[in-house]
């Protein structure tokens, strides 16, 4: 079927995530295969306002599939949130003949995509964030790579904690979401997982450590999402209260880099291809996602309003089996 649009742009916005490059590659190749011209917008919405636009052909995205980060760079733009900035972005799209935009990023980036769509620039959002905190999809691009990285790091920490019979508090990313802490916690057998979604106190952490001790446990891992506590502070408290030598590690941005896992590469490729399909049939203001492994797409505003229950069953399960 002939495409309803002739030229699209693709940008990455907000915190980067491994797999963004795989999505860019899929967008460029899927569009070119349909005879649609593609340009890359560098540095997210800031680059759109500045007209930082480059043509993208199929060979321009060779050998980026396996690379972490984003070849188009990413940024957070305050100017884009102003009326003036938004108008500049629209003008740049019109001047460059951009009839549709694929926005690869998190929910902050999707709000901008919604505003652009409402003003006549059709947008499709592709969820990419290590936080996995977008309710309209089961998984976001980058999450799988991130938790595998955390698991690798915590396994290493566990080796030395076991040798010295110590406790380790590991702070992971997640300012507002605990999916990284929860999944990595289950996969590493963490004694306690602190997440923003589940109220708990340091007293609960101590109780769990003491309980483990009574069952003969000699080394402990506590995972804390950055949104609820800090490793240094918590370590000191655990050591002072229990007498167990406790060390703190803040994993930081190591979690956001690295070559994407096969799972993230496949997900990103599917999302990128679907985003182009939607624009090609004239759809606008959509966000793509995956539910029970099937691709889905929703109205952007409906998607942003969706609420997903935190998987308490997993949280409780971990609490039971991490004794």
Q: Which is nearer to ligand F6P, 245 or 250 (CB)?
A: 250
Q: Which is nearer to ligand F6P, 74 or 117 (CB)?
A: 74
DSSP string for residues in 78-98: SGGGSHHHHHHHHHHHHHTT-
Binding string, residues 15-44; x marks residues near ligand F6P by CB under 6 A: x-----------------------------
- 18: tokens are 């491994």
**Closest residue to ligand F6P: CB criterion:** 15
Q: Which is nearer to ligand F6P, 174 or 212 (CB)?
A: 174
Shortest Cβ 130–ligand F6P spacing (Å)? 5
Residue list 140-199, contact with ligand F6P (CB under 6 A): 173-175
Does residue 229 interact with ligand F6P by CB under 6 A? no
Report how far apart, in Å, the C-alpha atoms of 164 and of each of 161, 207, 213 are.
5, 21, 15
What is the per-residue burial (b if ≥16 Cβ within 10 Å, else e) of 106-118?
Answer: bbebbbbbbbbbe
Q: Quick check: helix, strand or coil at residue 5?
A: coil
- 242: tokens are 């229990």
Shortest Cβ 172–ligand F6P spacing (Å)? 8
Binding string, residues 237-276; x marks residues near ligand F6P by CB under 6 A: -------------------x--------------------
Shortest Cβ 132–ligand F6P spacing (Å)? 10
CA torsion sign for 255, 256, 258, 264 is positive
Shortest Cβ 143–ligand F6P spacing (Å)? 10
Shortest Cβ 204–ligand F6P spacing (Å)? 23
- The β-bridge relationship of strands 53-55 and 37-41 is antiparallel
Give me the helices (H) in the chain, please: 20-33, 44-50, 83-95, 107-118, 143-164, 179-188, 202-214, 231-242, 262-280, 300-305, 312-321
Q: Which is nearer to ligand F6P, 196 or 272 (CB)?
A: 196
Cβ count near 15 (within 10 Å): 20
Residue list 102-131, contact with ligand F6P (CB under 6 A): 129-131
Residues annotated as catalytic are 131
Contacting positions for ligand F6P (CB under 6 A): 15, 129-131, 173-175, 256
């Amino acid at each position: 079927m002939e495409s309803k649009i002739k030229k699209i742009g693709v940008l990455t916005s907000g915190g980067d995530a491994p797999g963004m490059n795989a999505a860019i590659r899929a967008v460029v190749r899927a569009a070119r295969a349909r005879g649609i011209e593609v340009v890359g917008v560098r540095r997210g919405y800031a680059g759109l306002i500045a007209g930082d636009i480059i043509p993208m052909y199929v060979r321009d995205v060779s050998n980026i599939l396996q690379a972490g980060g984003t070849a188009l760079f990413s940024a957070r733009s305050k100017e884009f949130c102003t009326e003036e900035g938004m108008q500049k972005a629209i003008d740049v799209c019109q001047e460059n003949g951009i009839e549709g935009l694929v926005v690869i990023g998190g929910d902050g980036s999707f709000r901008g995509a919604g505003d652009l769509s409402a003003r006549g620039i059709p947008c499709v959002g592709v969820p990419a964030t290590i936080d996995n905190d977008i309710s309209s999809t089961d998984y976001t691009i980058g999450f799988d790579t991130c938790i595998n990285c955390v698991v690798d790091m915590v396994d290493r920490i566990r080796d030395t904690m076991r040798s010295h019979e110590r406790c380790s508090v590991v702070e992971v990313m997640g300012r507002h979401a605990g999916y990284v802490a929860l999944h990595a916690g289950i996969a590493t057998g963490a004694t306690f997982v602190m997440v923003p979604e589940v109220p708990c106190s340091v007293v609960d952490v101590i109780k769990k450590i003491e309980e483990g001790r009574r069952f003969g446990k000699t080394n402990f891992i506590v995972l804390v999402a950055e949104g609820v506590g800090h490793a240094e502070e918590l370590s000191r408290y655990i050591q002072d209260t229990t007498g167990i030598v406790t060390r703190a590690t803040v994993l930081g941005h190591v979690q956001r880099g690295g070559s994407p896992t096969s799972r993230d590469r496949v997900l990103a490729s599917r999302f990128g291809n679907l985003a182009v399909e939607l624009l090609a049939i004239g759809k606008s203001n959509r966000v793509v996602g995956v539910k029970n492994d099937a691709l889905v797409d929703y109205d952007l505003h409906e998607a942003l309003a969706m609420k997903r229950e935190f998987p308490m069953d997993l949280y409780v399960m971990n609490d039971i089996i991490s004794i």
